[in-house]
Each structure stands twice: as structure tokens, then as C-alpha cells.
Structure 1
């Protein structure tokens, strides 16, 4: 593993928010998770765009392991690192036409999201060897947690592509079998081995050309451009609860979260979230509908996307339901809206 100074790399605070959610913390518990980092609790709230140093991120992970009294915390955390947790990089990988391209996308763009990690891909016989170099000066327990997360990140990406469990890989760990080794099989779906020469995930080459039935480069590009533009319109300082809810919804695949998950992202109850939004003259349903209406209008101005594609991007499995919702939002069906803006046929 390559190493460098622990403070030389900066990581989005969203990863520490995932740590806090895994621990099921409440608002009052956040300072404990940030102990010895010098960071305010606000960095863990949804919508915050702070970046943490490598040392601060490692301290958060150490604090989490202690607070959770869980030596297997790296596995618990890694299980939550689905492709969507990596922002645009994860979406890009999932929109790739095949698994090989997805892995190359992760290799090329992951350092933008996690600058202390470098994915290395090498073909070895009938296998693709996937290794990660970590550029942090981590201790043995910290390094083990990082490698557990790495194995589960790769597993999640491949399984998202295959729409099934990945059972035919081989996962090597360079460290000795930990005391909690028996629980590894609850998280990893392929065979795994300890005390190996390196930590790596070996994938059969036969999987790499698997096509992605959900891959749509145009839809992906349009979605990411639009979400980035909307995010830029929301201030990143002095965020209201409404701002935080809006930013959180924009950062997730549309339709993948509900009010309960939004409340958890702010480490409060659903009732507390509703009360805070009401003080601002708002509520969750109103924010969500306004956001969907705005996204739908922006998508329809893009002549790369059919009405059916727009419906799918907004989480509508039935385009007829989307058409009814759009008419409620804008007073006209999507085809008429598109024609009025002269952006092409639906």
C-alpha cells in the first residue's frame, strides 16, 4: 500500500454522515462521533458540503468503532456504501454500457470523490484483479476497516450491474484472520481468504462484457448536469432545514428515499423534521413535489430525452402516472409543455 501524510487528502463529509447513520445516532450524539477532529456537528447534517482531512476521517472511523463497540464496524459501514453513495462517480459507473467500462469509470473518477484511494485493475489469466492503494498513514485496525469497505464497494457495484449476488469472485485480504472473522460470510457473497500477499477482489473475465440493461448515457448525462445546476442554486452556508432537505433529495436517485430517510439524514425524528419545516412555512411533500416539478420541466427542455425517459428518471414506472402528475404541476401535459418550448417531439 502507498502511504502519505494523513492530512494531505480531503474527503466529502457525506461519508461521515453514512458512519453516523450506521450508528443510528441522534442529533445530540454527533459531537461524540467528531471527538478530537475539531469539526462542528453541522458538518454531519444533510446538505453540508464540507471536506474533511484524511486524519479527521480516520478519527471519525476510530470514534465510530469505539462508540458502536463493534470490531466489525468496517463491514457494517462498507455494506452501506452502495454506488449512489459516491455521487456522480457512482452514477457514471451504473450508467456504463458494460461492467468493464463501469470498473474503468470507477478507477478513473474515484480519486475525484475519494482522493486517498487509487483503484488498480490488472488482468491475470482468467481473472481481473482489483486492488486499492490507500494514500493514508493508517494503523492496522484503520487499514483493515478501509479494506473491508473496499471489498464491499466492489461487490455492491458488480451486484448492481448483475442484478444478483456475486458468488463467483475471490476476495483476498492481506491481514490475519480477525477475531470476528465468522461474520465475514454475512457480508461477502464470494469466497474470501486471509493472510494473502495483497488485498484484492478477483473477478472472472467472463463477467466484464456483461451488458447493462439500465445503462443510458444520454439520460445519465442529462440527469447529472441538471442536478449539478440545481445544487448550485442552493447556498452552502446558513442552510435552512428546507435547504438541507432539498440538497439531500437532489443528491439521491429520485424516488429512492422518503421522509423517514430524510429525517435520519438530519439525525432527528420524522416529527421533529416536520416541526422544523413547519416553522419555515414548508413540509416534506411540498418540497418534494416542487423539486419533481422543477426537474420534470428541465428534463423536458432537453431534446435528448423522451417523455418516457423523463418519467423513468423521476422514478415513475408508469409514464401515464407521470403525465397526470405533470399536468397537476404545470397545468398542461408534458407533450404540450415541450411543444410550447419548441424543443422537439416527445
Structure 2
């Protein structure tokens, strides 16, 4: 494996929690990887994909699930994908969201080459492998396929009903457990055919200012990756670092002081730096609350009381007022739109 670019540990962390291994399984997961659980769960930690490769191979062996990639991809929320996820859900329509995906996918994964082709009936977005994936080809192909289908569903509030093409064989019963209407196998590349009618659908969380900020962050990150900017002369914006800390640690109710401590600066300095970037802690925190609220509302088994508790509200009434203030919809109305 020769990929040296940093690869987010976010996905390995999510996979670890998704698998929920016992002590014996955890030991097998980290065998011969040079990693341990503490490193995996370290905030803002990234490693070359080559260093994570053995861990993912161990993950497949420990799980014993040939379709783990698909299930994990479908489990991922848009907030797991950093600035690209924010740009995707805040885009005005699915068409713009898919354009963002094709342009910035390298910010999240280095092993597929994207291509967006416009047709008479819509667009085709295809991903072709640019490095040999070996034993992990099926896993990563399934994971990316599932993650994109999940992102589309979250964006427009309905299941993806375009055409999905998979460069994999057709396992028995696959169309049943994938739960998608149009899937083809043995394709030359991983691809999504999306008709114009779907591309025109508005995003449920369209937010023009947020979309522009996320685009700017993606462009800056892409320029840095391409080597046109150095990290020394162009440090990551504080708003991006704060947002990443909060998204990567959903179980923690962050305070300004907690964030400042993690960033090794004072709370006053953090306030000042966020103000220079045109934002503040409360705005970033509300955006994160809104992201999580929408994720929880997509789960029909969670009651309003449970969601309010998970988000740190005193009661369901406080959550309802806050959600309506931020979106213009009641939580119940949003949930109905998702079904």
C-alpha cells in the first residue's frame, strides 16, 4: 500500500464503535498495526492510510461480515465527513451537493478518482480505483457506495431511487439486504446515475451562508492538499477545528472552556479568533445541535424526550422551541418529511 496522504481516523473510530468489540476482538483489531485504542480515539489524529491498512484488514477478519462495508457506509452520518459533509447537506439542491462530492471527495478518501458526466437525463458520478485495494476492495467499495446513498437520502429526505452500479459480483440476496430499487453488479466502476428530477430536489437543510463557508473551507483544504499552500503559512481556521472537535466527539456536551483547553489556548483567545472568522461559539454549537437533531429524528425509534435528553435539553418542549427557531419546522414536521 503506497498511499502516504493523511487519512482521517474518523472512519476507523466509527467502525470501532459500530463493531463494539469485546476485549479479545479488540486485541485482534490492533494486532500488528502499531496502533492502540488510545491513539485511535485521539482527537484530531490522522495517519497515512498505509498505516491504517492492517487495522482495516483485521476489522474484516474480526467481524466475519462480507458486507460490513455496506452496513458501515449506510451507518455514517453526513457530519462524519467534515467540511465536505457540511457542504453536501447545506447545498441548495441535490445537484449542487453531488457536484461538491465529485470535486472534493479526495479530501476524505484518496483511493478513488471521481468523474461527473452530464447526460440528457441527468448526471452520472463515477469513482474508479486509482490504487490497488487488494483484500479491502470490496469493503471500501461497499463503504463508499453506502455512504453516498446515505448522504443522498439525508439531503433530500427520501431513499435514493436512481441507478447504483457496483464493480462487484452479484452475491445471493444482495438486492434484498441493500434495500435499493435499482442496483447493477459487475460494472466497470462504482457509479450513480441520477435523473434530473432528483437533482432538482431541494436539500432539507439548505443554508446558503453555511454552504458558502463550507465551500471556502473545502477549497482551502484542497489547495493545501495540492501543495499550493503550506500548513505553516495557512493554519486551519479555528471554526473548522472547533467544529471537528465537536463532531468527532458526539457524546460530550462542549463548553467554550473545554474547547479552548483542547486547542491549547485561553477561552478569551478562542473567542477573539472565532470573531475574526465571522462566527462565535454559540453559532457553531447550534449548528452541531441541528445536525445531530436531524440525525436523531431520522430514527423512528427515538422519542422526542429521548432526543431532547441526548442533545442536552432540559425537556422535549425546550427542544421543540429551539428546533423550530433554527429551521422553521417543528421536529415532528421534519420527521414526517423524512418518511
The residue aligned with 1:277 is none
TM-score by length of 2: 0.65
Given the alignment, which residue of 76, 83, 105 partners 2:100?
105
Deviations 1:232-252 (A, max 9, x none): 58xxxxxxxxxxxx9742546
The residue aligned with 2:312 is none
The residue aligned with 1:318 is 321
Deviation at 1:90, TM superposition (A): 0.8
1:171 aligns with 2:164: yes
The residue aligned with 1:214 is 205
- Counterpart CA distance in 2 for 1:31 and 1:299 is 42
Unaligned runs of 5+ in 1: 234-245, 263-283, 323-346
Contact 1:130 1:200 in 2 (8 A): yes
Contact 2:102 2:125 in 1 (8 A): no
The residue aligned with 1:17 is 13
The residue aligned with 1:132 is 127
Deviations 1:265-319 (A, max 9, x none): xxxxxxxxxxxxxxxxxxx55x458669989x7899699789x978853636525
- Counterpart CA distance in 1 for 2:145 and 2:184 is 12
Deviations 1:45-68 (A, max 9, x none): 1514121323x3332222111101
Given the alignment, which residue of 37, 44, 59 partners 2:40?
44
1:77 aligns with 2:72: yes
- In the TM superposition, 1:80-91 aligns within 5 A as 80-91=75-86
- Counterpart CA distance in 2 for 1:28 and 1:104 is 43
Contact 1:299 1:310 in 2 (8 A): no
- Counterpart CA distance in 1 for 2:177 and 2:22 is 27
- Counterpart CA distance in 2 for 1:15 and 1:291 is 24
Unaligned runs of 5+ in 2: 218-235, 261-266, 290-318, 326-339
Q: RMSD of the alignment, in Å?
A: 4.0
The residue aligned with 2:181 is 190
TM-score by length of 1: 0.64
- Counterpart CA distance in 1 for 2:278 and 2:199 is 28
- Counterpart CA distance in 1 for 2:324 and 2:95 is 35
Would the alpha carbon gap of residues 148 and 184 (structure 1) be closer, same or farther in structure 2, given more than 3 Å must change? farther
- Counterpart CA distance in 2 for 1:185 and 1:131 is 23
Contact 2:71 2:146 in 1 (8 A): no
- Counterpart CA distance in 1 for 2:106 and 2:129 is 11
SS of residue in 1 equivalent to 2:173: helix
Deviation at 1:86, TM superposition (A): 1.0
Contact 1:65 1:71 in 2 (8 A): yes
Deviation at 1:114, TM superposition (A): 1.7
- Stretch moving more, 67-76 or 33-42: 33-42
Deviation at 1:162, TM superposition (A): 1.0
Would the alpha carbon gap of residues 37 and 7 (structure 1) be closer, same or farther in structure 2, given more than 3 Å must change? farther
The residue aligned with 2:190 is 199
SS of residue in 2 equivalent to 1:128: strand
Q: How many residues align?
A: 270
- Counterpart CA distance in 1 for 2:13 and 2:68 is 15
